[in-house]
Amino acid sequence: QVQLVESGGGSVQAGGSLRLSCAASGYTRSRYCLAWSRQAPGKEREGVATIDHDGKISYSDSVKGRFTISQDNAKNTLYLTMNNLKPEDTAMYYCAADSADFCGEHATNARFMGYWGQGTQVTVSS
């Protein structure tokens, strides 16, 4: 059973930083994709960043250069380090897991992944 539990959200001012964590377990370790997606009120869910079993990483254009996805396999934890946050980054952030087929350029397909956490809220004020 796949379990994903996010933490680390909060409220920050524009230009600030946050690090999100996702305790991940139960997913297939041989060929996987782990991802962060976000959804703002009234908007569709958007893939933000992905990392696969080979460590290949992709970012959406909106966060590239500001956000960093990483994983600690020993701790079964996925991270999203967010720097230079902007008000438009305000959203509920979700951790996701599925097969490696969902990892790809610009994290476009991350929003279609099958397993999701409950989300953690990030609010950036101007």
pLDDT per residue, tens digit, the chain (126 aa), is 999 999 999 999 999 999 999 999 998 888 999 999 999 999 999 999 999 999 999 999 999 999 999 999 888 999 999 999 999 999 999 999 999 999 989 999 999 999 999 999 999 999
Torsion sign across C-alpha atoms 54, 27, 47, 82 = negative
pLDDT value for 30: 85
pLDDT value for 126: 94
pLDDT value for 28: 85
| Spatial contact of 63 and 18, defined as CB atoms under 8 Å apart | no
pLDDT value for 35: 98
pLDDT value for 29: 83
Task: Compute CA distances 13 → 6, 48, 63, 126, whole Å.
Answer: 21, 20, 17, 6
Closest by CA to 38, choosing from 107, 123, 111, is: 111
27 sits in which H/E element: none
